[in-house]
Amino acid sequence: MKRDCGSGIGCVLMWTVAIQLLLFGSGVHTSNITKNCKLFPESERNVLERLETLTQRNFTVDVKTEKEDYSYVFQICGDVADVPGAGIVQVERKKTGTQSTMIGTYNSTQIIGGSEWVMLSYRNPSKYEPCTKPMSQAIVMITCNTKTVGSLRVLQENKERDNDCIYLFELESSAVCQAPQSRLGTGSILLIIAFCLLVVYLIGGFLYQRLVVGAKGLEQFPNYAFWVEVGNLTADGCDFVCRSRSRDEASAYREVPADPLEEEADERDDHLLPM
């Protein structure tokens, strides 16, 4: 049995709820996760919003040496390893288990960006081991890669600085790539639109004249009588503008025919003959 949704308002409400449930179920997030970052200065918020597609994802890189075995886990404006405020965490693997240490918090975020790169910086004002300085800074350089999202890479671990410890990482992503600009100008786009409209007009008019009106020959051309008249009017206008004098104007010089003069000469000599 077919059900009716009732009034028009009821139908609108039902469709609204259905669309919201569909979006929720498909995992489409309408919130802006990058707003979780406390940014300094706030004027660079538009640069941070370019990384929205990379939020809610963990990027991990492993580091293994003879004495150490640990990983760095990075997330944009989200908690890493269930550590509140942690934007990047060092997870050290020991025989007794794992130990997580925050080296950068998204509550102290700085960011700058160019056409195809973004440099994101997390600071941690508290002291921690193995860094012996009172502050650490994790810098993630995100560069353009149009094909795929690359893995996180460690570029430098500098723990011997006088002011703070620096951790430098690199990540490739298409999120920071500049959108390709259209090579077509406004004039070209208008010409393409005009050409498409002309093609639709000619094909549609031809089919209408042939199938509906039953026209044959040149009369199948849409608005044939109108365009023929336009051509004649254009020719008349060109003739009026381009010609400086009328065709009916008498010529200033007349051609003197030879034969009539000879006949007139013979007639003038007739009175000299003897009678």
Query: Are residues 80 and 128 located together in one domain of the fold?
Result: yes
Counting the structural domains of the chain, the total is: 2
Who contacts 29 (Cβ-Cβ below 8 Å, separation ≥6)? 56
CB 81 within 8 A of CB 100: yes
Longest Cα separation, the chain: 162
Query: Are residues 157 and 224 located together in one domain of the fold?
Result: no
Query: Are residues 37 and 168 located together in one domain of the fold?
Result: yes
Give yes or no for a cis peptide into 180 (omega within 30° of 0): no
Q: How far apart are the first and last CA of the chain?
A: 133
The answer as to whether 262 is a domain residue is no
pLDDT in the model for residue 175: 87
Query: Are residues 161 and 44 located together in one domain of the fold?
Result: yes
Residue that finishes a domain, picked among 134, 154, 176: 176
The answer as to whether 103 is a domain residue is yes
Query: Are residues 85 and 119 located together in one domain of the fold?
Result: yes
Ramachandran area for residue 60 (φ above 0: left; ψ -120 to 50: alpha; else beta): beta
How does pLDDT run along the chain (275 residues), one tens digit per residue?
Answer: 444 454 444 554 455 555 555 544 444 444 589 999 999 889 999 999 999 999 999 999 999 988 889 999 999 999 998 888 999 999 998 888 888 888 899 999 999 999 899 999 999 877 666 676 667 889 999 999 888 777 899 999 887 666 678 899 999 998 899 876 667 778 888 999 999 999 998 898 888 888 888 888 888 888 888 887 877 888 788 877 887 655 555 555 556 555 555 555 555 555 555 65
pLDDT in the model for residue 109: 95
d(CA 139, CA 150): 17
**pLDDT tens, position by position, 64-90:** 988 889 999 999 999 998 888 999 999
Query: Are residues 193 and 172 located together in one domain of the fold?
Result: no
pLDDT in the model for residue 29: 44
pLDDT in the model for residue 129: 64
Query: Are residues 42 and 133 located together in one domain of the fold?
Result: yes
pLDDT in the model for residue 136: 83
Query: Are residues 195 and 87 located together in one domain of the fold?
Result: no
The answer as to whether 265 is a domain residue is no
Q: Which domain holds residue 194?
A: 186-242
Query: Are residues 172 and 145 located together in one domain of the fold?
Result: yes
Query: Are residues 194 and 66 located together in one domain of the fold?
Result: no
**pLDDT tens, position by position, 159-180:** 766 667 889 999 999 889 987 6
